[in-house]
Structure formats: C-alpha cells, structure tokens
C-alpha cells in the first residue's frame, strides 16, 4: 500500500506530497496550495520581445471575466468584446487578452488549478485542458502559429508593488535543471481521445491553427491538453502491460510513439544514466517479456521521481505563456 503525507511549506506556495511505496519506488508530488490559472495578462518579466498587435487580422480572447488575479503579477483584466459570435451564431461573452496583444498567459492562483479536473493542484498524475479563442477581425483564411513557453519562478517571488516593481530576478533560467525537467514532466498535446485515454501530437514548442474562410467577428475555439505523468511507465510500457494495469494507469501515447530518448534525457532525469537507450528499449518490450529487466525498470522510476522532487523543491510558481503569429503566406 502507499502512504501519503502532506506538508504545507507556506501559504500561497507549493506543497510536496511524499509517497513512500514498497520497494525502490519513491514519488514526490508537487501540489499547488492556492494557485490555479488565469488568462488575460500582459508581459511583466522581460523574457523575449512581445509580439506586436495582429494588424486587425485576429485577436485572442478568453471566457474568463473573473478578474481575480494572483498578486504575484500585476495584469489588466482585459476588455469585454462586443458584437462577437461563436461559430454557431450565438453571442460570445469573451474578454480580450493582454491588451489585444496576440498572447495569453495562465498563472497559478486559487481559482482553476490549470483547469485540472481533479481539483488537487498541479502534481504528478494531474492533467487538464486549456481553452482560448481566436477572434477573426476580417473575412480571411487564418493560418497561425502558437508557441508555448513555461516560465518558472522560485519561491522567493513576491507580489509586484512600488517597492517590488519587477519579479524578473526570481525567474529560474532555462539552463537550470528544474527548468529543463519541467519540459519533460509537464507534457502538452494537441489532441486527446477520451475513449482510449491516448494523447497525440505532442507540443514541444509550437503548434498550428488554421481556419479557412474565417468570418469577421467570429470566435473560434482552440483547445490543447496537458498531463503530468505519475510514473515513467506511462511513457514507455505497452498500453496493455500488466504493471500499468496494476497501477491503474493508461499509457499516455499510442504504442510505438517514443517520448523519451537518450538525446533529450536532461528533460526527464536530473543526471545522465549510463545505458539509458538500452533500458528504454528493454522497457518498451513490456514486463511480460522474458528479457524484461526489473532492475532497469526500478532505476528509471526512481530517477523519474527524483526529478519530480527537484521540481517541487525549486519551483514556487509556474506561468504558461502562449503567443501567436500569422504564418507567412509562403509557408507550408
């Protein structure tokens, strides 16, 4: 059996739940105490240049009008859009994002938990769906590229104020281990099949949106999905594997879709693992294969969980930034 012990670090911070399992399996859960996600934020951290307004071709919008933003970042609530309809012609009650700039931000607060249906915070085993809208500003074919960027803050980040006008010093650089690990532990996908539980078309940095014959002042829904795998099994073992069934989990992607490789191991583990390629290949054959190496299986799960611990120890806040741009007409 698994024993769970929760320890609150401080109000408004992440909580790590330690799961001590029989054998070598150790799992540290990253839990959000009082954070969820919101939309409609303008940039405040200075990372990268903001995209310019979309020249009247489109704008991004959110259905969130709560205005209940976490004090970590100061942001405008966005303007209510008028005269906008959904594709079926019904009125759309939407709010523009980021002062009309083609970007959306989601930040942890106590409202939505990154649209996590379990309501238990952002932690291994949690998942969700992100929704926003592309509003056409003229009759035109739309062909956009959306880019995703996770921005991490350490636990020392404080609310923006006159005395603290900038939190950029608390941004965890992309070169830090925790920032690299987030890329392999919180995964994004364009599609999810609820019947099979399979995710497809992984988003590593960007994805495409097309809407032929977009109509002026019409809002087109865009959705993408995220999941934080609980065990490394979900990325490697065959979908009908006995170990997966025993844990009660599904494989995240269809069999044969390899998510972890030796080349990008720094996104999944805190250190290099000798013989990783061979271990991954062995696990992919399944636990019922006579050559299955239980030692490699236990080692990779242990290293996966160490990475979860690293994230939970170092990350105080997570911000997801989505930016959009019109694809060049000559593009594929």
pLDDT tens for each residue of 47-68: 222 233 455 789 888 875 443 3
Does residue 206 sit within a domain?
yes
Q: Is 1 contained in some domain?
A: no
* Vertex 147 angle, CA 260 and 87, to 5°: 115
Determine how β-strand 85-86 pairs with β-strand 218-227. Answer: parallel
Query: Where are the extended beta strands (E) located within 25-126?
Result: 26-32, 58-62, 85-86, 95-96, 103-107
Helix, strand, or coil here: 193? Answer: strand
pLDDT at position 276 is 95
The predicted pLDDT at position 166 comes to 79
Backbone angles phi, psi at 71, to 5 degrees: -75, -5
CB neighbour list of residue 317: distance below 8 Å, 6 or more residues apart = 35, 72, 107, 108, 152, 153, 155, 157
Intervals of the chain under pLDDT 50: 1-53, 65-76, 109-113, 328-332
With contact defined as beta carbons under 8 Å apart, do 57 and 214 qualify? no
Q: What is the pLDDT of residues 157-185, one digit of tens each?
A: 776 677 877 788 889 999 999 999 999 99
Residue 105 lies in a domain: yes
Count of CB atoms situated within 10 Å of the CB of 255: 13
Helix, strand, coil share of the chain (percent; to 5): 20, 30, 50
Is residue 300 a part of any domain in this protein? no
Range of the domain at 216: 58-229+320-326
Q: Residue 67: inside a domain, yes or no?
A: yes
Indicate whether 167 belongs to any domain: yes
Q: What is the pLDDT of residue 134?
A: 93
With beta carbons less than 8 A apart as the criterion, state whether 35 and 155 touch: no
What is the C-alpha separation between 304 and 6, in angstroms, rounded?
A: 20
The answer to whether residue 81 sits within a structural domain is: yes
Q: What is the pLDDT of residue 215?
A: 96
Token pair of 166 as six digits? 């900038």
Burial tier of 55 (Cβ tally within 10 Å: 0-12, 13-18, 19+): exposed
Query: Quick check: is 143 in a domain?
Result: yes
For the chain, what is the domain count?
1
Half-sphere exposure for 200 (CA within 13 Å, toward CB): 10
Question: What is the pLDDT, as a whole number, of residue 48?
Answer: 27
């Amino acid at each position: 059996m698994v024993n769970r012990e929760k320890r609150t670090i401080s109000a408004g911070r992440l909580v790590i739940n330690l799961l001590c399992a029989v054998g070598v399996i150790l799992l540290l859960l990253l839990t959000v105490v009082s954070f969820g996600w919101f939309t409609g934020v303008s940039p405040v951290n200075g990372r990268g240049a903001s995209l310019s307004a979309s020249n009247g071709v489109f704008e991004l919008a959110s259905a969130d009008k709560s205005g209940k933003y976490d004090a970590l970042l100061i942001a405008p609530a966005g303007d209510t859009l008028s005269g906008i309809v959904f594709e079926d012609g019904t009125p759309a009650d939407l709010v523009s994002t980021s002062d009309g700039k083609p970007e959306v931000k989601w930040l942890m607060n106590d409202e939505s938990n990154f649209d996590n249906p379990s309501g238990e915070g952002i932690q291994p085993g949690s998942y969700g769906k992100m929704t926003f809208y592309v509003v056409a500003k003229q009759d035109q074919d739309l062909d956009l590229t959306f880019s995703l960027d996770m921005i991490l803050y350490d636990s020392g980040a404080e609310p923006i104020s006159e005395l603290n006008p900038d939190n950029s010093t608390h941004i965890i650089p992309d070169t830090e281990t925790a920032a690299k690990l987030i890329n392999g532990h919180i995964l994004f996908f364009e599609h999810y099949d609820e019947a099979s539980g399979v995710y497809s078309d992984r988003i590593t940095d960007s994805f495409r949106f097309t809407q032929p014959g977009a109509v002026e002042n019409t809002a087109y829904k865009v959705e993408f999905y995220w999941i934080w795998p609980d065990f490394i099994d979900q990325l490697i073992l065959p979908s009908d594997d006995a170990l997966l069934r025993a844990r009660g989990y599904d494989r995240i992607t269809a069999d044969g879709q390899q998510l972890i490789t030796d080349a990008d191991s720094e996104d999944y583990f805190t250190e290099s693992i000798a013989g990783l390629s061979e271990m991954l290949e062995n696990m992919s054959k399944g636990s019922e294969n006579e050559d299955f190496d239980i030692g490699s299986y236990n080692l990779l799960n242990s290293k996966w969980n160490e990475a979860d611990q690293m994230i939970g120890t170092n990350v105080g806040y997570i911000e997801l930034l989505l930016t959009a741009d019109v694809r060049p007409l000559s593009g594929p």
